[in-house]
Chains A and B, each alone.
Chain A
Amino acid sequence: MSMTATDSEHVLLDVRDLNVSFDSPDGVVEAVRNVSFKLDQGRTLGIVGESGSGKSVSTQSIVGLVQGARISGQARFDGRDLLMLAQPELRAIRGPGIAMIFQNPMSCLHPLYPVGWQIMEMIRAHQSVSRSQARLRAIELLGQVGIPRPDVRVDDYPHQYSGGMLQRAMIAMAIALNPRVLIADEPTTALDVTVQAQILRLLRHIQEQFGTAIIMITHDLGVVSEIADDVMVMYAGRAMEQASREALLRRPRHPYTQGLLRSRPQADSLGRALTSIPGQPPSLIAGARGCPFQPRCTQAISRCATDMPPLAVLAADGNDPHRSACWLTQAEDAP
């Protein structure tokens, strides 16, 4: 996530000032506000936050998968701004450029088509290969992600797979075209702990093998500590803190991140449940003033209720920029 110019050629995906809002009966829902992040080749960016913080919307909107939203900002990929592309151009990128794995594998595959067919369909949408070639590739992929007897299971329907196998199949599909970016949106949330660990290992293995850049969305700091190089903590559609994994885990600066870390079960590095910060989830309706975390923040000062702190680079962390959107941390670091 370095900002220096020399690194910029390794930057694969560069999102700047992303804003996504929806019209709703209660007013405009600002699901993502001024979010910027970068993703380097072969690296993993973890996006952490509780439910509704805008993790999915901020990633899905850049590949045009969010419908009925107003989107502004920039998302440079391969020298082009994804937000300016027409659907056909974007479609060509979905898959070979940026592939996705979603949260709930049981509902993310079409129940009426065989698993292998669904992988073949993806291959054949982007490459002119014959049906039998695509089938062989699908079998190979299923084998690669650890499906036993892939030449048989390729013809199974999703309901014949277990949850963990379905997520592996989703991963097989996502890596079918050797994507440069893999967005994994809570890929392990629906799975039990041992399967979670296997899936994370599989993703790391894929990254080592193919140099894939990964965005790992999670509400679980345990997952972040396992796999991420850089971390963005989101709250109410905003980036609250951005840092390298080491910096973030060693010295979290934002009160929200501190709360997340405290509420994390220590014994089990894959534990879930980050909901123990007291208070209500924030409203995303436009027009609210101040810091969205202020009502739940134990360290809030009067200014927090009226002004939103900018996401500022903290001087203390030198050339590995550690950013935090909090008046307190910014005051601490003021010279």
Chain B
Amino acid sequence: MIAYLLRRAAWGALVVWLVATLVFVVYFAVPRDVARLIAGRQASEETLAVVRARLGLDQPLIVQYGRYLGRLTKGDLGESFITQEPVTTIIARDIPVTASLAIGGAALWLLLGISAGVVAAARPRSRIDRAITAVALFFYSMPSFLVGQLLLFFLFFQFYLAGIELFPPGSYVPLSEDPLQWMRFLILPWLTIALVTGAIYARLTRGAMLEALGEDYIRTARAKGLSERRVILRHALRSSLSPVVTQFGIDIGSLLGGAIVTEVVFGLPGLGREVVQAILKQDLPVIIGVTILSSALVVGANLLVDLLHAALDPRVRV
């Protein structure tokens, strides 16, 4: 198991390195005048030369690449072309917002999705099962920005018109400052993420539960005289968690994508909004920094998922 995890960690490092190389190739190796990008259109040749020298752009590509990797391993992501701020500072400022959004959203989607799936599977083909399946299909087939807009329209705008500011967008209060306000500003973005992805989990959980409920060991659990509640929650749900965790590992990547869209829709000052602005302004260090960071996060999260798998299934723990 330890060897397996080490191997996975090595693979993860390789993936991050590949991503770093890829962004380097895309942004620096292709013919594009980065110096002009920074100095502006009217800059004289001398200015450009100075900028090139300062950024090392006059060096051969391989040297640039070596320096780039060298800085990366020291955790130095460079400075923003626009604000000259270190990218790490920008990330450190933005990441609490994105982390709050992503972790809260994921927690809510797991909670909503799994419980909806369990309730549906407990009474297959009943009215509640059909209702849950229909609602899940509805959200499943909607793009998340649309869900966000709908939530804003019904839960913010309608109340706003009536003079109540219930869940205003565009603000963020750190958790450490005021947990209630933190939740208030994040609840709609969380729902946006949770409803769309949670729908997948409702369907997934329902299917896994129905399969588990047909297993022989469920009959044994019933024959032991356990309550139906216990049969469902302790026995059937327990077996259904493994496929859910597998799916979760797959979805962690798209969680960051979803967070970007959601931050833009709700005007949250997070990494997603930062990177969108950076792309518009061609602020390469910021784009690269965020890209590498998110690949590292996804790799790390998948490692966690592996650990979770081992914790869930004794047959994996060898």
- A interface residues, Cβ below 8 angstroms from B: 60, 63, 65, 87, 91-96, 99-100, 102, 104, 107-114, 121-122, 125-126, 157, 159, 170, 173
CA distance A104 to B225 in the complex (A): 19
- Whether the pair B215, A112 counts as a contact (CB closer than 8 A) is no
- Whether the pair A122, B314 counts as a contact (CB closer than 8 A) is no
Q: Which residues on the A side are within 8 Å of B215 (C-beta)?
A: 107
Number of contacts between A and B (CB, 8 Å)? 72
Q: Which residues on the B side are within 8 Å of A100 (C-beta)?
A: 220, 223
- Whether the pair A91, B227 counts as a contact (CB closer than 8 A) is yes
Choose one: B225, B238, B239; the contact of A95 (CB below 8 Å). Answer: B225
Known: A107-B215, A108-B219, A111-B217. A122 touches B224 (CB 8 A): yes
- Whether the pair B224, A94 counts as a contact (CB closer than 8 A) is yes
- Whether the pair A65, B223 counts as a contact (CB closer than 8 A) is yes
CB-based nearest A residue for B213 = A67
Q: Which residues on the B side are within 8 Å of A125 (C-beta)?
A: 224-227, 230
- Whether the pair A121, B224 counts as a contact (CB closer than 8 A) is yes
Known: A122-B224, A173-B224. A112 touches B216 (CB 8 A): no
Choose one: B216, B223, B226; the contact of A99 (CB below 8 Å). Answer: B223
Q: Which residues on the B side are within 8 Å of A122 (C-beta)?
A: 224-226
Q: A-facing mask of B223-265, CB < 8 A → 1, else 0?
A: 1111110100011001100000000000000000000000000
Q: Which residues on the A side are within 8 Å of B223 (C-beta)?
A: 63, 65, 94-95, 99-100, 102
- B interface residues, Cβ below 8 angstroms from A: 215-217, 219-228, 230, 234-235, 238-239, 312-315
- Whether the pair B238, A110 counts as a contact (CB closer than 8 A) is yes
CB-based nearest A residue for B315 = A159
Q: Which residues on the B side are within 8 Å of A108 (C-beta)?
A: 216-217, 219-220
CB-based nearest A residue for B215 = A107
- Whether the pair A112, B225 counts as a contact (CB closer than 8 A) is no
CA distance A107 to B224 in the complex (A): 15
20 of the cross-chain contacts (CB-CB < 8 Å) are: A63-B223, A94-B224, A100-B223, A102-B216, A102-B219, A102-B220, A102-B223, A107-B217, A108-B216, A108-B219, A108-B220, A109-B217, A110-B235, A111-B217, A111-B239, A111-B314, A122-B224, A159-B314, A159-B315, A173-B224
- Whether the pair B221, A110 counts as a contact (CB closer than 8 A) is yes
CA distance A122 to B314 in the complex (A): 21
CA distance A93 to B235 in the complex (A): 20
Q: Which residues on the A side are within 8 Å of B219 (C-beta)?
A: 60, 65, 102, 108
- Whether the pair B225, A92 counts as a contact (CB closer than 8 A) is yes
CA distance A92 to B315 in the complex (A): 33
CA distance A121 to B230 in the complex (A): 10
Main secondary structure of the interface of B (DSSP, over half): helix
Q: How far is the CB of B318 from chain A (nearest CB, A)?
A: 11
CA distance A93 to B225 in the complex (A): 7
CB-based nearest A residue for B314 = A157
- Whether the pair A110, B225 counts as a contact (CB closer than 8 A) is no
Q: Which residues on the B side are within 8 Å of A107 (C-beta)?
A: 215-217
Q: Which residues on the A side are within 8 Å of B224 (C-beta)?
A: 94-95, 121-122, 125, 173
Q: Which residues on the B side are within 8 Å of A95 (C-beta)?
A: 223-225
- Whether the pair A112, B312 counts as a contact (CB closer than 8 A) is yes
Q: Which residues on the A side are within 8 Å of B226 (C-beta)?
A: 91, 121-122, 125
CA distance A100 to B226 in the complex (A): 13
- Whether the pair A112, B314 counts as a contact (CB closer than 8 A) is yes
Q: How far is the CB of A25 from chain B (nearest CB, A)?
A: 15
By CB atoms of chain B within 10 A, which of A100, A112, A126, A157 has the most? A112
CA distance A137 to B221 in the complex (A): 19
Q: Which residues on the A side are within 8 Å of B314 (C-beta)?
A: 111-112, 114, 157, 159
Q: How far is the CB of A156 from chain B (nearest CB, A)?
A: 9
CA distance A87 to B230 in the complex (A): 14
By CB atoms of chain B within 10 A, which of A99, A104, A110, A173 has the most? A110
Q: Which residues on the B side are within 8 Å of A102 (C-beta)?
A: 216, 219-220, 223
Nearest 4 CB-CB pairings of A with B:
A94-B225, A95-B225, A107-B216, A122-B224
Known: A110-B235, A112-B314. A126 touches B225 (CB 8 A): yes
CB-based nearest A residue for B235 = A110
Q: How far is the CB of B239 from chain A (nearest CB, A)?
A: 6
Q: Which residues on the B side are within 8 Å of A63 (C-beta)?
A: 223
Q: How far is the CB of B126 from chain A (nearest CB, A)?
A: 13
CA distance A184 to B167 in the complex (A): 61
Q: Which residues on the A side are within 8 Å of B235 (C-beta)?
A: 110
Q: How far is the CB of A141 from chain B (nearest CB, A)?
A: 14
Q: How far is the CB of A234 from chain B (nearest CB, A)?
A: 20
Q: How far is the CB of A186 from chain B (nearest CB, A)?
A: 12
Q: How far is the CB of A49 from chain B (nearest CB, A)?
A: 20
Q: How far is the CB of A113 from chain B (nearest CB, A)?
A: 8
CA distance A109 to B223 in the complex (A): 12
CB-based nearest B residue for A97 = B225
Q: Which residues on the A side are within 8 Å of B313 (C-beta)?
A: 111-112
Q: Which residues on the B side are within 8 Å of A126 (C-beta)?
A: 225
Q: Which residues on the A side are within 8 Å of B216 (C-beta)?
A: 102, 104, 107-108
Q: Which residues on the A side are within 8 Å of B221 (C-beta)?
A: 110
Choose one: B217, B222, B227, B238; the contact of A65 (CB below 8 Å). Answer: B222
CA distance A99 to B219 in the complex (A): 12
CA distance A114 to B314 in the complex (A): 9
CB-based nearest B residue for A95 = B225
Q: Which residues on the B side are within 8 Å of A96 (C-beta)?
A: 225
CA distance A60 to B225 in the complex (A): 13
CA distance A112 to B314 in the complex (A): 6
- Whether the pair B217, A110 counts as a contact (CB closer than 8 A) is yes
Q: Which residues on the A side are within 8 Å of B238 (C-beta)?
A: 110, 112-113
